Amino acid sequence: MTENLAKCVYCERDSYEVPLVAMRYQDKEAWICPQHLPIVIHKPQLLAGKLPGVENLVSEGH
């Protein structure tokens, strides 16, 4: 049986390595570590290819 561990959507580290924060997007659960959480807020385009549909998000340019 393969265990499906939660991993950071950006760096792919799991909860044994770093704390993870759960998020939902397009009714799917994803995880991100605190180090990469600012990417979701400020540069979501960096998640293209890692989180389906994220290309449609627009950064507010803080």
**Residue 38 forms part of a structural domain:** yes
**Residue 61 forms part of a structural domain:** no
Report the distance separating Cα 24 and Cα 3, nearest Å.
Answer: 21
Name the domain count of the chain: 1
* pLDDT on residue 24: 93
pLDDT band at 2 (very low <50, low <70, confident <90, very high): very low
Domain range for 18 is 1-51
* pLDDT on residue 7: 97
Helix (H) or strand (E) holding 30: strand 28-32
* pLDDT on residue 61: 59
**Residue 40 forms part of a structural domain:** yes
**Residue 57 forms part of a structural domain:** no
Report the distance separating Cα 19 and Cα 59, nearest Å.
Answer: 25
**Residue 56 forms part of a structural domain:** no
**Residue 27 forms part of a structural domain:** yes
To the question of pTM greater than 0.95 for the whole model, the response is no
pLDDT in tens, 15-36: 999 999 999 988 999 999 999 9
**Residue 12 forms part of a structural domain:** yes
